[in-house]
A and B are shown apart, each in its own frame.
Chain A
Amino acid sequence: MRLRDILLALLIGVGLWQLLVVITDAPHFILPSPWRVAQAAWRSRAIIAENAWVTLTEVLLGLLVGTVLGALTAIQLAYSRTAERLVLPILVFTQAVPVFALAPLLTLWFGYGMGSKIVMAVLIIYFPVTSAFHDGLVRIDSGYRDLSISMSANRWNFLRHIQIPNALPSLGTGLRLAAVYAPIGAVIGEWVGASRGLGYLMLLANGRAKIDLMFASLIVLACLTVVLHILVGLLATQLTRYARGISIT
């Protein structure tokens, strides 16, 4: 994705938005124009920045904790056949429970602060990271396994020196998904109960019919997610380059 393409897509998006405003002639408290939203964003920049920082912190901590837990689970599942047999079905089963439905419970358990939002983000990214990394760990050229057996390798060293480096591109795939999901988790947590964060600000603006501010918060959230996605994408690319023996740039 080149910068020129991103700017062009942005311009087209804003153009279509403006066109929709003109065609539908919707009142500004239903669909504000891009210019009106830009003005609201500038006017409320301090409050948006403050709340964006809260959401960003929740997302980054959720991403970090979720990735570490997901990666450790995947390694444990790949290391122990018993764990794989017992835990994997449970993990798949838990995915049948919509994480969003747990948000009120998490708020009850972890309070209105950052904790419940971080846990929400962790829960939402844990499975994609675990699943993608585990898939990479077990999907390995059987020749490596044969070679390791002939070399009298022990199981842990095989996992450490061959399976894990070989699965880094898959971990990267999981991270890319996590970067998109983590903000969703944090914002849903904020919607259910919070006194800070972009999700909270959106609800607040909506309640006070400040739709332009709500749009501004939404756009900032989208920008945060896109930047996070790009940065995590760069990290994932480096992981793939490492695993393929291409020098890291």
Chain B
Amino acid sequence: MAGSPGILLRGRHRVDGKLLFDVELDIPAGRWTCLLGKSGVGKSTILRLILGLDTGGDFSGAFHATDDAPLDGRISYMAQSDLLLPWLSVLENVCIGARLRGQNPGLARAERLLDRVGLSRHAAQKPGTLSGGMRQRAALARTLFEDRPIVFLDEPFSALDAGTRADMQELAAEVLVGRTVLLVTHDPAEAARLADQITVLTGEGARNWPVPVTPPLRAINAPETLACQAQLLDYLRGRKACA
């Protein structure tokens, strides 16, 4: 997508007066940034902060888009839970954003997006009848329906089985190409496959991790993917200094 801006964030975040993180984060335009770190280090908080959601703490600092235009209305969001509304059909779920804004739902575009994620045959079904993977594909179609240049993904594939997760990673990489993507993940393998930039968040700050020289989407079993994954895992387990 042309014109996807990057995001710069500098600042510190405190929860109940205690410092959660003090970071300088540079999310490059039109690329995939994978944000890794241990649980509770504040990965999702960064994402929520930029989205304008409640973080339960105080942030002192600033963030802005690299094109200096406001970020409001330019970020779409996909969470770990698919958040599909059980009483609506899959198609109606895809275009729920338009309804929530009081706009025309644009069903034809929603149908095309469902086709793109391979769910056109299930458009009329209720989410409860779909498998976990299909539900996440529907959630991805809903994210695409927003048609925004920046996409925030908060561990969207972590609840899926390994095979479905790999499929979803490939689908997401394909359909989100050209957008600025921030993926919060616990999974070094996911980061090694998808990232243009890997940022590891610790209590001391955010640091960029060297990514394989091959472009994403990388093969799961490619030596450079496996090596990156192993080194990241070692680092996250505290067995290796930052590369």
Contacts and interface: CB of A to CB of B under 8 A. Distances in A.
Contacts of B160: none
B76 interface: yes
Interface in A122-147: 141, 143-144, 146-147
B82 to A, nearest CB: 9
Interface string A219-235: 00000000000000000
Contacts of A242: 87
B100 A153 contact: yes
A91 interface: no
Given A243-B86, A243-B87, A146 B100 contact: no
- The interface size bin for chain A is 20 to 34
A146 B53 contact: yes
A244 interface: yes
A143 B85 contact: no
Interface stretch (A9-17, A46-54, A104-112, A158-166): A158-166
Contacts of B100: 148, 151-154, 157-158, 161-162
Interface residues of chain A: helix, strand, loop or mixed (majority): helix
A245 B86 CA distance: 5
Contacts, number: 72
Contacts of A245: 86-88, 126-129
A249 interface: no
B87 A165 contact: yes
A230 B233 CA distance: 59
Contacts of B96: 151, 161
Interface in B115-174: 126-129, 146, 152
A162 B87 CA distance: 10
A166 to B, nearest CB: 8
B112 interface: no
A157 B102 contact: yes
B66 interface: no
A62 to B, nearest CB: 29
A247 B146 CA distance: 28
Nearest 9 CB-CB pairings of A with B:
A153-B100, A245-B126, A245-B86, A150-B77, A151-B97, A245-B128, A157-B100, A143-B83, A165-B87
